[in-house]
A and B are shown apart, each in its own frame.
Chain A
Amino acid sequence: MTTTALRGSSASWIRLSLGLASLAGALVASVMALVWAPPDANQGEVQRIMYVHVPSAWTAYLAFAIVFVASAGWLWTRRRIFDAIAVASAEIGVLFTGLALVAGSIWAKPTWGVWWTWEPRLITTAVMFVMYVGYLLLRSLSADVEGRATRAAVIGVVAVVNIPIVHLSVTWMNALHQLPTVLRPDGPAMDGRMLATLIVSVLAFTLICAWLMVARVALETSRQERVLDARGA
């Protein structure tokens, strides 16, 4: 059919552009992070891990916020595209939360002196990670498309509370993790080149997130269609 063919070709065009933009973003961000930005006076070269750690955490927040919106969208309208977006962004969020945890841990060993400690930011991030892994497990328990989407969507809406809890956990009494550097009341407490590098890294990660999202949503949509065809609906 012409419309499907058109839709297909425009979708693959978007995917190709996003893929190329992601690649370019990753290259520019890598050069800036590894060469152009200065090392930190206290931490030295290990501070460069921040250019992976912070964008990973940001991308995870973004992905889980999209899970929330898409889950609410499914509950409100029952349009299948919302369920596809929810599962796609949940997987991406788990991936980037994992990456933020690993990068943070590698940074923590030379800086704090420990790989892991039961500190508020670390605990709340671990809880967020486990909760969304649970969300994905819950989805895999059932093949019933509508029921599964509804059960998952309720979790997808409720689990959004993790985002503000993780973000604000550093402001709680007696924590170890440092406070936000960029989003702090009296402006970013960071050298200009470091800040520029961080912003470019965040943009690059966001592009990669969008690229993965488009690909994963397309995969889920075709899976939904196969299931519906098999059901004869």
Chain B
Amino acid sequence: MSVARPRRQAGIGERRLLALTALAIAVAIGYVAFQNLNTSAVYYLTPTEAQERKIAPGASVRLGGQVEPGTLRYEPTSRDLRFILTDGVTRTVVVGKGAPPALLREGAGAVVEGFFATDLSFRATQVIAKHDEVYVPPSPSRTPPHRTP
């Protein structure tokens, strides 16, 4: 372009109005997002919530809870994985295929993806280990406590 087109210069008041409008929109979006996502965004259901919502057998769902101590079984030859997922109220038997993640431990958090079978056991297609925000070096005298999600 050889000749610059005459440009309409926004007045200073107009500019600042634009700045304030943008800020107001940002605050509004933030407020609405917080109010809604905070209560409605759910990554997984607890076994109790799944029971209350009467999830139909075969429907895809994620369950989250704690691996009940003393229930984690994995057979390397048949690759059968079995444990009880609990939220402290409701216990769900989880059945899966394949090695669990190394950090899936008894008493620690877990999230399973899959569906309920007709016998109300849960068929996991994916097992995810949940871990907490505490970081400690290894020590021979104690194993670090896991906390429930």
Contact assessment for B43 and A158 in the assembled complex, using a CB-CB cutoff below 8 Å: no
Contact assessment for B30 and A181 in the assembled complex, using a CB-CB cutoff below 8 Å: no
* Cα distance A78–B15 in the bound complex, in angstroms: 9
- 19 A-B Cβ contacts within 8 A? A41-B137, A41-B144, A42-B103, A42-B131, A75-B15, A112-B101, A112-B103, A113-B101, A114-B126, A117-B43, A119-B43, A120-B41, A146-B7, A172-B38, A174-B46, A175-B43, A176-B111, A179-B132, A231-B1
Nearest chain-B residue to A112 (Cβ)? B128
Assess A178 versus B132: contact at CB under 8 Å? Given A39-B138, A118-B43: yes
Does residue A72 face the partner (Cβ distance < 8 Å to B)?
yes
Assess A172 versus B41: contact at CB under 8 Å? Given A39-B137, A40-B137, A72-B19: yes
Contact assessment for A194 and B43 in the assembled complex, using a CB-CB cutoff below 8 Å: no
Does residue B120 face the partner (Cβ distance < 8 Å to A)?
no
Does residue A180 face the partner (Cβ distance < 8 Å to B)?
yes
Assess A164 versus B30: contact at CB under 8 Å? Given A76-B16, A113-B104, A176-B111: yes
Does residue A7 face the partner (Cβ distance < 8 Å to B)?
no
Size of the B side of the interface (Cβ < 8 Å), in residues, is 51
Size of the A side of the interface (Cβ < 8 Å), in residues, is 53
Does residue A31 face the partner (Cβ distance < 8 Å to B)?
no
Nearest chain-B residue to A230 (Cβ)? B1
* Cα distance A168–B64 in the bound complex, in angstroms: 20
Interface residues of B in 67-116 (CB under 8 A from A): 100-104, 111
Task: Return the contact of B133 from the options A78, A154, A178 (Cβ within 8 A).
Answer: A178
Given contacts A75-B22, A157-B19, A165-B30, 9 further A-B contacts (CB under 8 A): A40-B135, A111-B103, A153-B19, A157-B26, A158-B25, A161-B29, A180-B133, A189-B135, A191-B135
Listed residue (A75, A118, A119, A180) with the most chain B CB atoms within 10 angstroms of its CB:
A75
Contact assessment for B127 and A113 in the assembled complex, using a CB-CB cutoff below 8 Å: yes
Assess A158 versus B19: contact at CB under 8 Å? Given A39-B137, A181-B135: no
